[in-house]
Amino acid sequence: MTETGNPNGPKGSKVAIVTGSSRGIGRGCALELAKRGFNVVLCARTLHEGQAFEHSSTVKSSNTKPLPGSLEKTACELEALGGKALTVKLDLLERKDIHALVDRTMKEWGCIDVLVNNARYIGPGHMDWFVDTPIELFDAHLQCNVLSPLLLIKLVAPIMIGRGGGVIINVTSGAGYRETAHDIGAGGWGLGYSLSKAAFNRIGPGLAKEFRQHKIAVINLEPGFVTTERMVTDMGAFGFDASKGLGVDVPGSVCAYLAAHPTPMNFSGRDIDAPTFAVDAGLVDGTKLPPPYGPSHWGLPGRSVL
C-alpha cells in the first residue's frame, strides 16, 4: 500500500482528493475514479481497520465504536485496480488537518485536479431531537459540513487555477433540499444535519458562477439513498432500512464520469441526481436498481429527478 505516496509524482495521471473515503460513498467514488485512471488521495479519520477514534475536543463525547472500513483497506482495493493511493488522516473539526492534507498532496504528487467533498459530521447529536441537542453540536455540524469543505475549496482553487481548470464535486443530501414527514428515530433526521446540508448544497451553484472564469466546474451530486457500512451498522435503530438502498457504485460511477468528462463545465452549477443519471448514461444496469429508483417506479408521476 502507498502510505508515503509517489515521490516522483503521478507521472501524467490526474490527481483526485476524496474526503471520507475510508468507507461508504467516499470509498465508492475513490474506486470508480481509480478505474478511470485517477490517482486518489484518500482521507478520513479511520486509518486502520477496527480503529476507534475520539471526537475533537470541541465535541464532548465518548469514543465512537469502530465501523467496517478504513483508508488502509480502500487503498488496497484501489491499488488492486491498478491505481495509486495516498492516505492522509483528516478530521473536519481540525482545520490543521485540512491544511496538512493539501500540503501533503502537493508535496507528494504536485497537483490537484479533482476534489470530492464527501465527508460530513459523524458524532453525537446527529439524530437527536432539537431540545436535546446542545448548541455546540450545531457548531460541529456547520464546521464539518460547510466551513471545512469551504476551506478545502479555498486551498485547492489556486492550484486548479494554475493548472487551467479542475472539477469540484460536492456530495449533497436530499435532507438539505426537502424535509421528511418521518419523525427523528423513525426514518427522519436531526435538524443539525439537514440545516448544515442545506447550506452545503448552496455552495455548488454559488461557486460555479465565480469559478466559471477559471474553468473550474463545481457540481452537486445527490447520491440517493445508499447502503453504506454506517447505514447497516448504526441507522437501523433510527428507522432506516439498509436493504432498500443503492450500492456505492451508483454515486461512485457518476462521480468518476463527471470528473473524467472532456467538458465538465457543462455540468457546473447543476444538481446531478446520481441514480437517474447513472441509468441515463448507461453507467449501471437500471433494471437492477431498487425502488424508487428501478423499473417499478419508472413512468410514475412525481418521480424525483433533481
Q: How far is CA 99 from CA 12, 84, 129, 152, 260, in A?
A: 24, 22, 34, 8, 26
**What's the confidence (pLDDT) of residue 207?**
98
Whose CA is closest to 82, among 21, 28, 36?
36
Instruction: Give 114's strand partners.
Output: 16, 167
Tell me which residue of 78, 68, 69, 70 sits closest to 1, measured CA to CA: 78
Alpha helix (H) residue ranges in 45-126? 71-80, 95-109
Intervals of the chain under pLDDT 50: 1-9, 57-58, 60-63, 305-306
| Residues whose CB is less than 8 angstroms from the CB of residue 31 and which lie 6 or more positions away in sequence, other chains included | 74, 77, 78, 81, 249, 252
Rounded Cα distance, 197 and 120, in Å: 9
Query: For the residues of 250-287, what is the DSSP string, one character each?
Result: HHHHHHHHHHH-S-GGGGTT-EEEHHHHHHHTTSS-GG
Superfamily per CATH, domain 15-297: NAD(P)-binding Rossmann-like Domain (3.40.50.720)
- The domain locations on the chain are 15-297
Report pLDDT for 62: 39
Select from 108, 112, 100, 220 the least CA-distant residue to 161: 112
pLDDT in tens, 143-175: 999 999 999 999 999 999 999 999 999 999 877
pTM of structure: 0.89
85, 42 contact by CB (below 8 A): yes
pLDDT tens sequence across 229-274: 665 566 556 556 667 788 899 999 999 999 999 999 999 999 999 9
Q: In the beta sheet, which residues pair with residue 188?
A: 184
Distance CA 75, CA 157 (A): 25
| Phi then psi dihedrals of residue 106, to 5 deg | -70, -35
What is the C-alpha separation between 175 and 182, in angstroms, rounded? 12
Write down the pLDDT at residue 173.
83
Look at residue 63 in the predicted model and tell me its pLDDT: 43
